[in-house]
């Protein structure tokens, strides 16, 4: 069965559900970032969601649409943390059993949150894709409703509701920059923005260490990486997926890559300039804005701060990396 992207009308329907459970997140104008980047910079603060990340929108909408039979069987999914939290949060909301498969080295803050929300957490594999394979085997063996982290139109429709909120407050952005892991966020954003105004530029961001969606987009085919690494677990996937890649190729204007060092600098800059905590993935939009700065001059730019679930140890490390770079003399 061919998966079809959600329509703009489906995202409007999703908003009617999501707003019952989640208040809109702020869209903050940043004078400091605007001055540094020579453009009007607005930050969509999805880090302020109950789970600290945008994905909760997709979880709430998808579980709201499950049949009584699916709810009775329970759901299972794989995640490096934020998607798993979203499913755990929504499962508790709707009284559904949830099982989350996660890599063995998953962020402990995210693990604790999933367990606190009542999910059964299974740690297995070196990375997301190994955990996903084990998850799919469990779903098939026990007849559970398997929730894919990307090939789910209802997830994309749910997370696309933050793009509607952006337009409620800023009807005429020029550029929206979105972190890309599996791709649900950038897909929902692009569907909304391109429907309302095709001239709005949508840019996705991946890391140089895990560029599978970027390379798949560039080469026009689904790819899988043998290896790769990044500290930003929300961007750490080795496999590109059919539905998001199709939407990205149709609607997203550009994908770019940033380094882990640039993510560290952006984490610190969000903290100092906007007084918000960003995890590695959440900081990707700001890192990309610096790379794109000459193209952004004079424009209205929205940065999606997609999540803020960072451990104290990772934050301290990121600050040390950023400080070390700042201390190096310019070439």
Place of tokens 């599978």: 212
Catalytic residue among 30, 47, 55, 110: 55
194 a catalytic residue: no
Catalytic residue among 30, 86, 149, 306: 306
Q: How far apart are CA 174 and CA 53, in angstroms?
A: 24
Nearest one of 241, 252, 245, 159 to 204, comparing CA atoms: 252
55 a catalytic residue: yes
DSSP state of 197: -
Strand ranges, E, within 46-193: 75-78, 98-102, 120-123, 145-147, 175-179
Q: How far apart are CA 306 and CA 279, in angstroms?
A: 8
Query: SS3 for 178?
Result: strand
Contact 205, 180 (CB under 8 A): yes
Which residues are known catalytic residues?
A: 55, 306
């Amino acid at each position: 069965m061919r998966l079809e992207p959600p329509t703009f009308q489906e995202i409007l329907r999703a908003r009617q559900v999501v707003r019952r459970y989640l208040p809109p997140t702020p869209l903050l104008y940043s004078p400091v970032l605007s001055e540094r980047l020579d453009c009007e910079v607005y930050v969509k603060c999805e880090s302020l969601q109950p789970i600290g990340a945008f994905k909760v929108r997709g979880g709430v909408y998808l579980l709201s649409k499950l049949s009584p039979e699916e709810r009775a069987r329970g759901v299972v999914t794989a995640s490096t943390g934020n998607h798993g939290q979203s499913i755990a949060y929504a499962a508790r909301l709707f009284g559904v059993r949830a099982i989350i498969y996660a890599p063995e080295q998953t962020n402990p803050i995210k693990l604790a949150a999933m367990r606190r929300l009542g999910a059964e957490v299974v740690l297995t594999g070196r990375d997301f894709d190994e955990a996903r394979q084990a998850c799919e085997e469990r779903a098939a063996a026990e007849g559970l409703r398997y929730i894919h982290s990307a090939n789910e139109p209802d997830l994309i429709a749910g997370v696309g509701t933050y793009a509607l909120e952006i337009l409620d407050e800023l009807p005429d952005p020029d550029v929206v920059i979105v972190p890309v892991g599996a791709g649900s966020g950038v897909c929902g954003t692009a569907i909304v923005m391109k429907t309302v105004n095709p001239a709005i530029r949508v840019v996705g961001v991946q890391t140089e260490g895990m560029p599978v969606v970027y390379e798949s987009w560039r080469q026009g085919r689904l790819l899988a990486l043998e290896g790769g690494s990044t500290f930003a677990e929300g961007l750490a996937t080795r496999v590109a997926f059919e539905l998001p890649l199709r939407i990205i190729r149709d609607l997203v204007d550009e994908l770019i890559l940033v380094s882990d060092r640039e993510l560290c600098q952006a984490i610190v800059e969000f903290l100092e300039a906007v007084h918000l905590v960003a995890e590695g993935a959440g900081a990707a939009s700001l890192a990309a804005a610096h790379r794109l700065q000459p193209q952004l001059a004079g424009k209205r730019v929205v940065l999606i701060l997609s999540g803020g679930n960072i451990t104290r140890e990772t934050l301290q490390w990121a600050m040390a990396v950023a400080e070390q770079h700042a201390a190096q003399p310019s070439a």
